Structure 1
Amino acid sequence: MSNQRYGAGIWHFATYVDRYATDGYGAPRSLIEMIDLAGEVGDLSVVDINYPFPGGETSLEAIGTALERNKLSVIGITPEIYTRQFAKGAFTNPDAGVRRLANEMCNDAANIVRHFGADYVKLWPGQDGWDYPFQVDHRKLWQMSVEGIAELATQNPDLKFVIEYKPREPRNHMSYDSVARTLLGIEKMGVPNVGILLDFGHSLYGGESPADAAQLAIDHGRLFGMDVNDNLRGWDDDMIAGSVHPIELFEFFYTLRKNNWEGVWQLDQFPFREDSVEAAKSAIGFLKAIERALDKLDFEAMQAAQDRQDAVGALKLAREALFSSY
């Protein structure tokens, strides 16, 4: 019997708009409705919740009741430091007052993390970066990126903060765009409670090997969390995990298992046109197959093949384990 826990960003159960279907792909949902849908999946034990809470005002008590009703708990709170008021940046905004608003929103999120006994505040500073050559002073922008998060971590030494890096979108180039740059920023902060949340799709989209990125973050002691999804590598499509890159997803989880990394396997998917509950079940079904494949994989033989840099032999081991486990 597996003890692996599965989670999802609560936005997986929202409805979405894009720049074409501006009327949305469904009727808006309240946070409580999203939590109830998450409960229908059956295998989820935790959710990551946006703040301010989506779908209109609701109380912590109402959220707690909905979570209890669905046998769910909160893994993280994601402050929305990427909306219109932060269009020129959150931690890197040229307006000191807006930077202060970002800090206050993140501190409010930190208090909600404490309320629910969650694991971390997740920081996705999507508007921190630039769009054009000569638009910013790169030294100053990076300094603000680092100092803004370091300030938060120092204000809340009892909590963990995780940075979810991404190459671009909504900015044409985001400040925290890769595992290496994010690790450099964390090192410069000099605080123990900031780490990385590695999004498998962001790593693919950024031209990384997610397995290599995970190993680098682990080697620096900074892999605090992870999200899985999939894409066609040209954009952050947030498709069902394992639908396009099953072998690379297997290698990613092989790397986690090899390093004895333990944590929630979390979905960050955007099922625009698909049934959200069925999309979650589909992804988790494949993740369970990966669990079974890891249990049957000959790790010693894999290590020997890798020591020889034997691509054919290593892939044979991986394929046999994975494709016989679904």
Structure 2
Amino acid sequence: MASTQRFGAGIWHFATYVDRYATDGYGEPRSVIDAIDLAGQVRDLSVVDLNYPFFGGDFTNEQVKTALDRNGLGVIGITPEIYTRVFAKGAFTNPDHGVRRLAHDLVTEACDVVRSFGADYVKLWPGQDGWDYPFQVDYGELWQASMDGVGQLADENPDLRFVVEYKPREPRVHMSYSSVARTLLGIEKIGLPNIGILLDFGHALFGGEAPSDSAQLAIDYGRLFGMDVNDNLRGWDDDMVAGTVHPIELLEFFYTLRKNNWEGVWQLDQFPFREDSVEAADAAIDFLKACDRALDKMDMDAMREAQARHDAMGALRIAQQALFSSY
């Protein structure tokens, strides 16, 4: 039976990048339209997550929709850029009320873009919310501001879903939404049904978590609204091609999703600085499809029995046989 699993990617996967060394960039700048046309060349890609405002020019929703249509792509989410220079001291946690209002207004605009494209969610990645030094902030006030910013938006837009993408650090040394547990605590305290987690596999690795355990925890609370996959060496958020470093842990992540009947897009959040972006996406999706096939052939009863005995070698043998015979 053919798989019905859908695959997506952040549109930034098809942009060009700068870092603090190659400040002239790894390639010529691209607009969002250019990036969508590249995304359309990827095999088996169904949806993209779009940054807002759209990069590389002054584009309307209609112009972006035209580009998406000609490439057969839909939109899963809109990511408002609440992490740029104007928000250097924070978006929801900025000490300046006017800047906090700018963040709120930008996300509110993004809500209308979500409605325009019929997307699944507004993705909140408040990368500048947090602190860097001891004594820099009042932790209680900062955490309350983090929750208030998200909660107000969710309350004002009950027809939409909001996902919070947590990350331990970068750009802030300590980010407010830094772990699955801390993010769940905040969401549960806010107490609104339309706020969930966007679980980035690489962020969980980077934070010292077991991504499968993080997924299970979010699912147990009914808060896993979306996910991204990539890979890294655990020391930094490298955003490498999915499955290139931690293939078994990535298979376990998807195993956890299937075991819990979690259905959603398997989405790429990769930054192929030096690689061809289409080739990198194809390679990742090929691996994700192999994981999907592996789950189809995995002996689930035997896996449950091995796990009931805490039999590490037996469970790994089942997982490895399924994966390595499916690629």
Q: TM-score band, normalised by the shorter chain?
A: over 0.9
Residue 313 of structure 2 is aligned to residue 307 of structure 1: no
RMSD: 0.4
Partner of 1:121: 122
Matches within 5 A, 1:270-289: 270-289=271-290
SS of 1:41 mapped into structure 2: coil
| 1:181 and 2:182 aligned | yes
Cα distance in 1, alignment partners of residues 63 and 161 from structure 2:
25
C-alpha distance in 1 between matches for 2:186 and 2:256: 24
Count matched residues: 326
Within-5 A mapping of 1:1-80: 1-80=2-81
Distance 1:2 1:322 in 2: 16
Post-superposition shift, 1:61? 1.1
- Following the alignment from structure 1 to structure 2, what is the Cα–Cα distance between the partners of residues 17 and 52? 19
Which position in structure 1 is the counterpart of 2:232? Answer: 231
Task: In structure 1, give the amino acid aligned to 2:233.
Answer: L
CA distance in 1, matches of 2:66, 2:57: 17
Please tell me the residue identity of whatever aligns with 1:208.
E
Separation of aligned partners in 2, 1:78 and 1:289: 29
Q: Which amino acid aligns with 1:12?
A: H
Q: Please give the alpha-carbon distance, in whole angstroms, between the structure 2 residues aligned to 1:56 and 1:130.
A: 32
Structure 1 residue 42 displacement after superposition: 2.5
Question: Please, which moves more after superposition, 53-62 or 108-117?
Answer: 53-62
Q: Distance in 1 between matches of 2:322 and 2:150?
A: 41
Which residue pairs with 1:152 in the alignment?
A: 153
Matches within 5 A, 1:95-134: 95-134=96-135
Q: Take 1:99 and 1:62, find their aligned partners in 2: how far apart are those partners? A: 30
The answer to whether residue 306 in structure 2 is matched with residue 321 in structure 1 is: no
Tell me the SS of whatever aligns to 1:125.
coil
Residue identity opposite 2:74 in structure 1: S
- Unpaired stretches in structure 2, ≥5 consecutive residues: none
Aligned to 2:250: 249
* C-alpha distance in 2 between matches for 1:136 and 1:145: 13
TM-superposed CA distance for 1:117, in Å, is 0.3
SS of the equivalent of 1:104 reads helix
Q: Residue deviations 1:14-61, cap 9 Å, x none? A: 000000000000000011110000000021110000001111111111
Q: Percent identity?
A: 76
- Matched AA of 1:147: D
1: CA distance, partners of 2:217 / 2:37: 37
Distance 1:2 1:254 in 2: 15
Shift of 1:161: 0.2
CA distance in 2, matches of 1:42, 1:53: 24
Counterpart in 2 of 1:170? 171
Q: Structure 1 length normalisation: TM-score?
A: 1.00
Over 3 Å off, 4+ runs: none
CA distance in 1: counterparts of 2:195 and 2:183, whole angstroms:
10
Taking the aligned partners of 2:120 and 2:231, their CA distance within structure 1 comes to 24
Q: Deviations over 1:84-120 (max 9, x none)?
A: 0000000000000000000000000000000000000
| Inter-partner Cα distance in structure 2 for 1:290 and 1:274 | 23
**Cα distance in 2, alignment partners of residues 63 and 49 from structure 1:** 10
SS in 2 for 1:78: strand
Matched residue SS, 1:93? coil
Q: CA deviation at 1:164?
A: 0.3
The answer as to 2:83 corresponding to 1:82 is yes
Structure 1: gaps (5+ residues): none
Structure 2 matches for 1:258-297, cutoff 5 A?
258-297=259-298
**In structure 2, C-alpha distance between the alignment counterparts of 1:66 and 1:43, rounded to whole Å:** 17
Map residues 128-143 of structure 1 onto 2, 5 A cutoff: 128-143=129-144
**SS state at 1:292 partner:** helix
Q: Distance in 1 between matches of 2:191 and 2:215?
A: 21
Q: Using the alignment, how far apart are the partners of 2:297 and 2:229 within structure 1? A: 22
2: CA distance, partners of 1:292 / 1:180: 31
What is the SS of the residue equivalent to 2:41? helix
Matching residue of 2:203:
202
Q: What letter corresponds to residue 276 of structure 1 in structure 2? A: S
Q: What is the DSSP-based 3-state SS (H/G/I as helix, E as strand, rest coil) of the residue aligned with 1:40?
A: coil
The whole-number CA distance in structure 1 between the counterparts of 2:50 and 2:108 is 15
Structure 1, residues 221-270: CA drift from partner, whole Å, max 9, x if none? 00000000000100000000000000000000000000000000000000
Q: In structure 2, what is the Cα distance between the partners aligned to 1:221 and 1:212?
A: 14
